[in-house]
C-alpha cells in the first residue's frame, strides 16, 4: 500500500512537472517543447529501450540457460561468460554509446546495440542465478522420470527461475530508460534530445521538461514489470505452508 | 526381472564406488540394497535407470540390455523415488503425479482417473482436494506419499527407491513402511530399495543385498541374513540385538501353544480349583460357552463358593496369530499374568504364548547360530 502511494506521488509529480513546463510555452527567446513533441520523443525513447531489452532478454536468457548447464560449470565457461557480460557494464554508458557509433553508424542501431550490451548483464546474471538456485533433487527427479533435457528446461527450470529472471529484466529496463537518454549523442532522438536542448540553451526548465518524463517512464515501467513479475511467479511458489 | 552382471563403477576421480556386483531381482520381488553410508548403494541404483553410466558389466531388464534402449524411454518405464523427493514446487500434487503419464501422452481423462486412484492408494483423501494442493502446502509425510504416487504414475513394472522414508520422523516412517507393504501386496512391483537401516530392510525386503565398499557381501532373505550372517562384517552390521531382530521375523502362530486348557466362566469355583490343581498351574484362561476369551482365573483369587465369572481378572492385552514375536514379547510384559492369550478375529482363544515357550525358541536360535 505504502509503495503504491509513493509510486502515485512520484508519478504525479513528474507528469505534473512536464505538463506545467509544456504549458509555459515561451522562455525568453526560447520556447518549450510542445505536448506533441513530448509524446513523440517519449515514443522514440520507448522504442530504443524496448528493442535493446528485447535483444538483451533473448540473448541473456539463452546464454543464462547455456552457462547453467553442468558441463558449462565444469569447464568454467559460466565464469568466463558472466565475467565478460560484467565487463560490458563496466564501460561507462556514455563511452559505450559513443563507441558504437563508428562501428554501427550513427542512429538507431548504435543506440539499440549499446542498450543491449548495457542491459545484458542483469538478465544473464539473474537467469544464471535463478537456474543455479533450483534444488538439484528436482532436476534429478525429472531426469529419473524420463524428461528430456529440453523438457526439463521448459517445464521445470524456466518456470522455477522465472521470478528471478523477471527481476533481472526489471533492473535492466529501468537502468536503460536512463541510458537511452544518451542516444542523442550519436544522432538519435528520444527524451535525451529535450534534455540536451535544455543544457545547450542553459534553460533548466527545458532540461527538466525532458528529464521529468524520463523519470516517469522509468517509474511506470518499474511498476508494470513488478506486477508482471508477480503474475508470472508460479502459484505453487507463492502459497504459504498452511498445515503441519 | 532385473539382472546385474559384474557391474562396476569407477568415477572420473578414481573412486571405485561399485566393484563387480552380480545380482538378480525376480519379477514381483522386493530387493533391498543395504549397507553403511558410502558403500555404493545409490550408485548401484542409479546405474539401473542410467542416471549414472556403467564403467563395465551389464544390466538387463527383462532380458534387454538397458543400453539398447533410449534412456528416456527406459526411465519412463521405471518408477523412481528419492529421499529428497524432488517434487516440482510450481506444479500441483495432481500435476506432479501426472508427470510420466503426460510424457507418455495419455489422454486427459485417463490421467485424471489415474491421479485419483494413486492419491487414494497412498492415503491422500479426498483425492479431489489433495490433487489441487501445492507441495508447499503438505507435511513431510504427505510429500513423501506424493513422491511414491508419482513414481507409480504410469504403473511401471519396476520401482527404484533411494531411502524414500529416510528423512521423516520415526513414527511417520513406520506408518509409511506399513502402508507401503500393503501397497506392494496389492501392486506386486519389482522393487529395488536402498536403505542403511537394517530394521527397515528386514521389515520390507523379500531379499537383502548387503554391500560393503562397493562389493556385494551377502544376498539372502532377511531370515537367512539374520540367522547365518556370512562373515564378521555382516554380523557386526546386523548388530548385537540380532535375537530381537530375529523375533520380528517370527509370528505368534509359529510358537504358540495350541488348544490350551481353559475354564468356562459359568463353572463353579470348586470345579475350577480342582482343574488348576490337576494341571499344576496358577492361571487359567477363562472363556465363554463359544470359546471366546474373557480373562484370567488366578489361583490366589479362588473362593470356596461362587462361579468363575465373579473372581476372574478381565484381560488387558491380546495377541493375534499374526502378531510379530517382538511385539508379542513387549505385550507379555504388560500382561497381568505373564502369559499372552492369542485370539482370532472372532475373539476365540486360539492359543497361549508363554515365557517358557519363548525361551525354547530363543535357545533354538542360539544353538543354530553356534553351528552356523
Ligand atoms: N559423482 C561422484 N564422483 C566421485 N565419487 C563419488 C560420486 N558419487 C559418489 N561417489 C563416491 O562413491 C562412493 C559410493 O557412493 P554412493 O553410491 O552414494 O554410496 P551410498 O549410497 O551407499 O551411501 C562413495 O565413496 C562416494 O563418496
Ligand atoms: Mg545413498
How sure is the predictor about A98, in pLDDT bands with cuts at 50, 70 and 90? confident
Same domain? For B175 and B241 the reply is yes
What letters, b where the CB count within 10 A reaches 16 and e where it falls short, cover A25-50?
eebeeeebbeeeebeebbebbbbbbb
Which grid coordinates belong to A10?
512520484
Comparing CB atoms, the residue among B80, B85, B90 nearest residue A145 is B80
Mean pLDDT, residues A40-55 taken together: 96
Q: Which residues contact A237 (CB under 8 A, 6 or more apart)?
A: A160, A163, B89, B90, B136
Contact yes or no for A144 and B76 at CB 8 A: no
Q: Compute the nearest-CA separation of B147 from chain A (Å).
A: 9
Which pLDDT belongs to residue B240?
55
| Exposure of B190 in the CB half-sphere (CA atoms within 13 A) | 15
Helix (H/G/I), strand (E/B), else coil: B338? coil
What letters, b where the CB count within 10 A reaches 16 and e where it falls short, cover B261-291?
ebbbbeeebeebbebbeeeeeebbbbbeeee
- The sign one gets for the Cα dihedral B217, B219, B222, B228 is negative
CA torsion angle for A32, A36, A40, A46 (degrees, to 10)? 90
User: How many Å apart are CA A150 and CA A155, to the nearest integer?
Assistant: 8
Give the count of Cβ contacts less than 8 A between chain A and B. Answer: 85
Same domain? For B278 and B225 the reply is no
Fold exhibited by the domain A2-233 = MetI-like fold (1.10.3720)
Which grid coordinates belong to B321?
496369530
Domains held by chain B: number: 2
Cα distances (angstroms) measured from residue B37 to each of A16, B17, B34, B325 = 69, 11, 9, 30
How sure is the predictor about B85, in pLDDT bands with cuts at 50, 70 and 90? very high
Which pLDDT belongs to residue B203?
85
Task: Please state the domain extents for chain A.
Answer: 2-233
B139 CA to centre of ligand 2 in angstroms: 23
Same domain? For B275 and B341 the reply is yes
CA torsion angle for B110, B149, B46, B224 (degrees, to 10)? -120
Q: Is residue B278 part of a domain?
A: yes
Query: Which of B179, B214, B249 is a domain's end point?
Result: B249
User: How many Å apart are CA B330 and CA B333, to the nearest integer?
Assistant: 5
Whether pLDDT at B60 is above 90: yes
A26 DSSP β-pair partners = A31
Mean pLDDT, residues B242-252 taken together: 74
Whether pLDDT at B362 is above 80: no
Contact yes or no for B89 and A236 at CB 8 A: yes
Query: Which of B195, B220, B249 is a domain's end point?
Result: B249
Q: Which residues contact B22 (CB under 8 A, 6 or more apart)?
A: B4, B5, B6, B7, B216
Which pLDDT belongs to residue B286?
93
B18 CA to centre of ligand 1 in angstroms: 9
| CATH value at residue B135 | 3.40.50.300
Higher-confidence residue of B254 and B143: namely: B143
Which pLDDT belongs to residue B368?
57
Residue having the nearest C-alpha atom to atom 11 of ligand 1: B17
Percent of chain B with pLDDT over 70: 93
The rounded mean pLDDT for chain B is: 89
User: How many Å apart are CA B215 and CA B41, to the nearest integer?
Assistant: 10
Pairing assessment for the beta strands B283-287 and B263-264 based on DSSP bridges? parallel
Q: What is the pLDDT of residues A27-42, one digit of tens each?
A: 888 999 999 999 999 9
Query: Which of B249, B284, B317 is a domain's end point?
Result: B249
CA torsion angle for B297, B299, B305, B310 (degrees, to 10)? -30
Pairing assessment for the beta strands B158-162 and B78-82 based on DSSP bridges? parallel
Same domain? For B204 and B301 the reply is no
Contact yes or no for A237 and B99 at CB 8 A: no
Mean pLDDT highest for which of A86-90, B83-87, B271-275?
B83-87
Q: Is residue B82 part of a domain?
A: yes
Most B CBs within 10 Å, among A75, A137, A144, to test the B interface: A144
Residue carrying C-alpha cell 537367512: B224
B207 phi, psi to nearest 5 deg: -140, 150
Is-contact B13 B74, C-beta < 8 A? no
Same domain? For B196 and B136 the reply is yes
Helix (H/G/I), strand (E/B), else coil: B221? coil
Pairing assessment for the beta strands B340-343 and B257-258 based on DSSP bridges? unpaired
Same domain? For B182 and B311 the reply is no
Q: Is residue B370 part of a domain?
A: no
| Exposure of B152 in the CB half-sphere (CA atoms within 13 A) | 24
A210 CA to centre of ligand 1 in angstroms: 63
Mean pLDDT, residues B64-68 taken together: 97
Same domain? For B245 and B271 the reply is no
Residue having the nearest C-alpha atom to atom 12 of ligand 1: B17
Contact yes or no for A145 and B74 at CB 8 A: no
Same domain? For B149 and B41 the reply is yes
Whether pLDDT at B372 is above 70: no
Contact yes or no for B82 and A137 at CB 8 A: yes
Which pLDDT belongs to residue B364?
67
Same domain? For B84 and B152 the reply is yes
* Residue span of the structural domain in which B310 resides: 252-361
Mean pLDDT, residues B76-91 taken together: 96
User: How many Å apart are CA A70 and CA B209, to the nearest integer?
Assistant: 33
Q: Which residues contact A15 (CB under 8 A, 6 or more apart)?
A: A212, A213, A216
Which grid coordinates belong to B333?
510384559
Q: Is residue B309 part of a domain?
A: yes
Please choose, from the candidates A111, A95, A106, A99, the residue with its C-alpha nearest in 3D space to the C-alpha of residue A50: A111
| CATH value at residue B313 | 3.10.580.10
Please give the model's pTM, rounded to 2 decimal places: 0.78
Q: What is the pLDDT of residues B154-199, one digit of tens each?
A: 999 999 999 999 878 888 888 889 889 989 988 999 999 999 888 8
User: How many Å apart are CA B81 and CA B148, to the nearest integer?
Assistant: 6
Same domain? For B231 and B258 the reply is no
Ligand 1 atom with least separation from CA of B46: 17
Q: Is residue B367 part of a domain?
A: no
Whether pLDDT at A244 is above 70: no
Same domain? For B207 and B116 the reply is yes
How sure is the predictor about A23, in pLDDT bands with cuts at 50, 70 and 90? very high
User: How many Å apart are CA B304 and CA B289, to the nearest integer?
Assistant: 23
Q: Compute the nearest-CA separation of B79 from chain A (Å).
A: 7
Q: How is residue B58 annotated by DSSP? A: E
Q: What is the pLDDT of residues B20-54, one digit of tens each?
A: 999 999 999 999 999 988 999 999 999 999 999 99
Whether pLDDT at B371 is above 50: no
Mean pLDDT, residues A212-217 taken together: 96
Same domain? For B212 and B291 the reply is no
Q: Is residue B366 part of a domain?
A: no
Which pLDDT belongs to residue A185?
87
Helix (H/G/I), strand (E/B), else coil: A83? helix
Amino acid at each position: 500500500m505504502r509503495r503504491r502511494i509513493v509510486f502515485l506521488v512520484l508519478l504525479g509529480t513528474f507528469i505534473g512537472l512536464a505538463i506545467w513546463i509544456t504549458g509555459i510555452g515561451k522562455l525568453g527567446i526560447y520556447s518549450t517543447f510542445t505536448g506533441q513533441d513530448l509524446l513523440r520523443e517519449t515514443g522514440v525513447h520507448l522504442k530504443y529501450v524496448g528493442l535493446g531489452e528485447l535483444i538483451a532478454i533473448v540473448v541473456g536468457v539463452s546464454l543464462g540457460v547455456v552457462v547453467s548447464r553442468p558441463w558449462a560449470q565444469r569447464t568454467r565457461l559460466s565464469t568466463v561468460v558472466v565475467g565478460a557480460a560484467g565487463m560490458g557494464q563496466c564501460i561507462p554508458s556514455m563511452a559505450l554509446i559513443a563507441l558504437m557509433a563508428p562501428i554501427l553508424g550513427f542512429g538507431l542501431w548504435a543506440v539499440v546495440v549499446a542498450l543491449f550490451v548495457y542491459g545484458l548483464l542483469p538478465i544473464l546474471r539473474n537467469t544464471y542465478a535463478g537456474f543455479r538456485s533450483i534444488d538439484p533433487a528436482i532436476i534429478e527427479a525429472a531426469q529419473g522420470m524420463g524428461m528430456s533435457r529440453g523438457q526439463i528446461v521448459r517445464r521445470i527450470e524456466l518456470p522455477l527461475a522465472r521470478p528471478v529472471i523477471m527481476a533481472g529484466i526489471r533492473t535492466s529496463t529501468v537502468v536503460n530508460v536512463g541510458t537511452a537518454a544518451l542516444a542523442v549523442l550519436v544522432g538519435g532522438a528520444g527524451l535525451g534530445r529535450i534534455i540536451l536542448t535544455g543544457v545547450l540553451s542553459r534553460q533548466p526548465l527545458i532540461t527538466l521538461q525532458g528529464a521529468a518524463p524520463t523519470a516517469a517512464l522509468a517509474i511506470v515501467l518499474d511498476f508494470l514489470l513488478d506486477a508482471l513479475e508477480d503474475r508470472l511467479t508460479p502459484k505453487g511458489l507463492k502459497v504459504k505452508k498452511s498445515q503441519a | 526381472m532385473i539382472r546385474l552382471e559384474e557391474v562396476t563403477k569407477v568415477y572420473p576421480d578414481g573412486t571405485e564406488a561399485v566393484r563387480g556386483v552380480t545380482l538378480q531381482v525376480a519379477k514381483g520381488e522386493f530387493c533391498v540394497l543395504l549397507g553403511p553410508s558410502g558403500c555404493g548403494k545409490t550408485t548401484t541404483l542409479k546405474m539401473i535407470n542410467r542416471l549414472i553410466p556403467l564403467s563395465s558389466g551389464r544390466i538387463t531388464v527383462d532380458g534387454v540390455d538397458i543400453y539398447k534402449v533410449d534412456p528416456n524411454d527406459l526411465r519412463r518405464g521405471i518408477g523412481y523415488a528419492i529421499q529428497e523427493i524432488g517434487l516440482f514446487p510450481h506444479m500441483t500434487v495432481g500435476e506432479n503425479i501426472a508427470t510420466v503419464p503426460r510424457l507418455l501422452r495419455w489422454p486427459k481423462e485417463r490421467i485424471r482417473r489415474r491421479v485419483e486412484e494413486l492419491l487414494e492408494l497412498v492415503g491422500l483423501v479426498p483425492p479431489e482436494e489433495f490433487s489441487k494442493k501445492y507441495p508447499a502446502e503438505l507435511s513431510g509425510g504427505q510429500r513423501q506419499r506424493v513422491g511414491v504416487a508419482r513414481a507409480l504414475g504410469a504403473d511401471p513394472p519396476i520401482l527404484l527407491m533411494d531411502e524414500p522414508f529416510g528423512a521423516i520422523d520415526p513414527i511417520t516412517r513406520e506408518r509409511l513402511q506399513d502402508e507401503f507393504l500393503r501397497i506392494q501386496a496389492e501392486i506386486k512391483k519389482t522393487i529395488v530399495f536402498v536403505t542403511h537401516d537394517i530394521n527397515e530392510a528386514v521389515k520390507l525386503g523379500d531379499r537383502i543385498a548387503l554391500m560393503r565398499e562397493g562389493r556385494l557381501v551377502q544376498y539372502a532373505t532377511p531370515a537367512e541374513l539374520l540367522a547365518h550372517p556370512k562373515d564378521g562384517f555382516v554380523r557386526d552390521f546386523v548388530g548385537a540385538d540380532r535375537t530381537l531382530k530375529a523375533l520380528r521375523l517370527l509370528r505368534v502362530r509359529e510358537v504358540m501353544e495350541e488348544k490350551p486348557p481353559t475354564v468356562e466362566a459359568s463353572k463353579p469355583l470348586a470345579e475350577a480349583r480342582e482343574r488348576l490343581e490337576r494341571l499344576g498351574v496358577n492361571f487359567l484362561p477363562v472363556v465363554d460357552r463359544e470359546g471366546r476369551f474373557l480373562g484370567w482365573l488366578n489361583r490366589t483369587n479362588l473362593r470356596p463358593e461362587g462361579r468363575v465369572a465373579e473372581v476372574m481378572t478381565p484381560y488387558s492385552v491380546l495377541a493375534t496369530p499374526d502378531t510379530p514375536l517382538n511385539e508379542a514379547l513387549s505385550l507379555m510384559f504388560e500382561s497381568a499374568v505373564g502369559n499372552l492369550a492369542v485370539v482370532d478375529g472372532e475373539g476365540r482363544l486360539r492359543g497361549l504364548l508363554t515365557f517358557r515357550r519363548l525361551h525354547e525358541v530363543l535357545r533354538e536360535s542360539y544353538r543354530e547360530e553356534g553351528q552356523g
